[in-house]
Amino acid sequence: MDERLWSILVEAFPRMLTAGIGMSLPLAVVSFLLAVVIAVVTALVRFAKVPVLSQIVQFYVWVIRGTPLLVQLYVVYYGLPNLGILLPAVPSAILVFALNEGAYCSEAMRGALDSVPGGQMEAGLCCGLSWRQTMWHVVLPQAFRVAFPSLGNGLISLVKDSSLAMSITVPEMFMAAVRVAGRTYEYMALYLEVALVYLVFCTVLNKIQHVLEKRLSRYAI
């Protein structure tokens, strides 16, 4: 590694790190929190077999899981303006990431809800709780413990998928690397460097996930 390449890598690192902490991570976290809300609502609708809504939700999951994330980004950011709907780049990315991850997380939540013994719901109702109270205080906490590993994997995937937001002009971490590479022509080194930064972020999140899983396992019924 010559002195020029080393100086380029040193110069690019803080730019990547700033874009990662200031945009990529917040983008992934906000999208993930919205995705969890979407997943819970979607899973509950399907679990309760609500007429009409259940079919609509199933159609949503089918479409989102069956189409590429990049195409979804393009449809929302570049396609919706043709219908008179203009969304800035960052809200567009958050919307698409939340809807996309929400569809996948909803399947994890639905499976987790199905794994809770039916007697738990019956016990709650027999104790005088309403269906909503039983679901909130008895069934959902158990389901979240089951779904937690899958949900954690979803957040890690979102951190990596945030690089696709560059395609709709979101100034995230990969865009920072691409800009430096376009100016210096050191593509291989800079792309490996940004890949290493993504690896560090995901490794930290993975460690946090394992710690939380151990803590949650103490409360398993």
Tokens of 2: 């010559």
Q: Which amino acid belongs to residue 158? A: L
Whether 94 contacts 172, CB under 8 Å: no
Please state the pTM of the whole predicted model.
0.91
Please report the DSSP string for 104-134 in residue order.
HHHHHHHHHHHHS-HHHHHHHHHTT--HHHH
Q: Amino acid identity, residue 91?
A: P
- Alpha-carbon gap, residue 78 to 146, rounded angstroms: 38
CATH number of the structural domain spanning residue 119: 1.10.3720.10
Q: For 58-98, write each residue's pLDDT tens digit.
A: 999 999 999 999 999 999 999 999 999 999 999 999 999 99
> How far is residue 110's CA from residue 107's CA, in Å, rounded to a whole number?
5
Q: Is the pLDDT of residue 31 over 70?
A: yes
Residue whose pair of structure tokens reads 């809807």 in the numeric block: 99
Give the domain extent around 39. Answer: 3-217
Number of structural domains found in the chain = 1
Confidence of residue 39 (pLDDT cuts 50, 70, 90): very high
